[in-house]
Amino acid sequence: MTDPSETIENTAHTDWYSPDAATFGDRVAAARAAAGMTQAVLARRLGVRLATLRSWEDDMSEPRANRLAILAGLLNVSMMWLINGEGEGLDGEAAAGVLPADAADLLGEMRSLRVELTQSAKHVAALEKRLRAMLMETPDV
């Protein structure tokens, strides 16, 4: 098993928008900010309600394929990058350069915590699965 701090450190500083470090909503929000658009402007250009765009950025819902294609075009990133962080998208280091140093540090720490939480959630799920399997094997008393 790898040292979680190594994984977190590497993810936080080498690939800010990978699936382990960022969600679909994180990538949409980052690309929107890099494009210099507010949520209201992007929603209007996409032809969706502001609440819809907010739910995408908050990872409460995802766009349909046709809106995803338009979204990627407006943000000048690939659809694959929006979905899973791979392909043509934002460079994490370049995006961090626009932020004040303190904000970039906080953002890096928050992303590291997100990775840690995700890893912990996966570990808990694996333990629950093992427990369920053990309970299924135990004869009824």
CATH number at residue 38: 1.10.260.40
pLDDT of residue 53: 96
In angstroms, rounded to a whole number, what is the distance separating the alpha carbons of residues 29 and 135? 43
Does pLDDT of 131 surpass 90? yes
pLDDT of residue 83 exceeding 70, the answer is yes
The model's pLDDT over 32-53, given as tens digits with 9 standing for 90+, comes to 988 889 999 999 999 999 999 9
Number of independent structural domains in the chain = 1
Give the pLDDT confidence score for residue 2 in this predicted structure.
Answer: 42
User: Which amino acid makes up residue 15?
Assistant: D
Q: What does the pLDDT read at residue 99?
A: 60
pLDDT mean over 63-91: 87
Q: What does the pLDDT average to over 14-27?
A: 72
CB of 30 closer than 8 Å to CB of 99: no
Predicted confidence at residue 74, as pLDDT, reads 92
When pLDDT is averaged across residues 2-24 and rounded to a whole number, the result is 54
Over residues 51-74, the mean pLDDT reads 93
For 100, counting Cβ atoms within 10 Å of its Cβ (0-12 exposed, 13-18 middle, 19+ buried), the class is exposed
Write out the residue range of the structural domain in which residue 90 sits: 4-137
Percentage of residues in the chain with pLDDT exceeding 90? 37
